[in-house]
Amino acid sequence: MKKSLILAAVFSCLSLSMAHAADSDGDGVDDSNDFCPDATYNQAVDDYGCSILFFVNDSGIRSFWRTVRPKDSSIEVLDSATESLGQVMRRYPTMQFTLSGYGDGPGDRRRGLQRAEFVRNHWAAQGIDSSRIFVESPPYTEVIDCSQDRIERCRERNRRVEMSIRQY
């Protein structure tokens, strides 16, 4: 009888240690290590469960008028995102990304493409696999009301680079 109780206790402990830790948001990161518990399974998350897309797009990569290089504050965003992007690329080895660069105004897609290329090259210089990052320059879009008295503010908001998942 004692042997069976001891064996039952051993098997019970083994099964508990073999159980997976909880992952309530389904992003593949255990809750005990998840700094962003609201990220979902279909987001590109780093080792801490945080979305690289949300970080880059929410922080904003912005440029001055007629320039390709982002503002200094945006370079800081790129530098901060480098480690997370590397983690995401290791976690999802087939995932590819698209950087969409926007120009200064209608008809300025070339500068938008150059902005996206700058971001890709910046990350490549820091060791990120740039072969998995594609660049594009979508047509100019109005992100806010572009009434005549707000045209410069509207264009300023359009001078940006956004990141999206190309292939999972």
Predicted confidence at residue 6, as pLDDT, reads 41
Distance, CA of 102 to chain centre: 18
Residue with tokens 């901060």: 80
Cα–chain-centroid distance for residue 167?
A: 13
Burial class (CB in 10 A: 0-12, 13-18, 19+), 164: middle
Q: Which residue has the higher pLDDT, 101 or 51?
A: 101
* Mean pLDDT for the stretch of residues 118-146: 85
Counting DSSP H helices and E strands in the chain, the numbers are 5, 4
- Residue 103: per-residue pLDDT: 82
Residue 88 phi/psi, 5-degree rounding, is -60, -40
Domains assigned to the chain:
2-167 (3.30.1330.60)
What pLDDT, on a 0 to 100 scale, did the predictor assign at position 20? 57
Which residue shows structure tokens 């009301």? 145
Task: Give dist(CA 43, CA 48) in Å, integer.
Answer: 13
- Summarize pLDDT for 29-87 with one digit per residue, the tens: 888 888 777 776 667 778 778 777 877 777 677 877 777 788 888 888 898 889 889 99
Are 136 and 113 a contacting pair, CB within 8 Å?
yes
Q: Angle at the Cα of 142 (from 54 to 44), degrees rounded to 5? A: 15
pLDDT band, residue 145 (cuts 50/70/90): low
Please count the residues of the chain: 168
Res 5: pLDDT: 39
- What pLDDT shows up at residue 142? 54
Centre a 10 Å sphere on the Cβ of residue 104 and count the other Cβ atoms it contains: 19
**DSSP 8-state assignment for residue 31:** G
Distance of CA 151 to the CA centre of its chain: 29
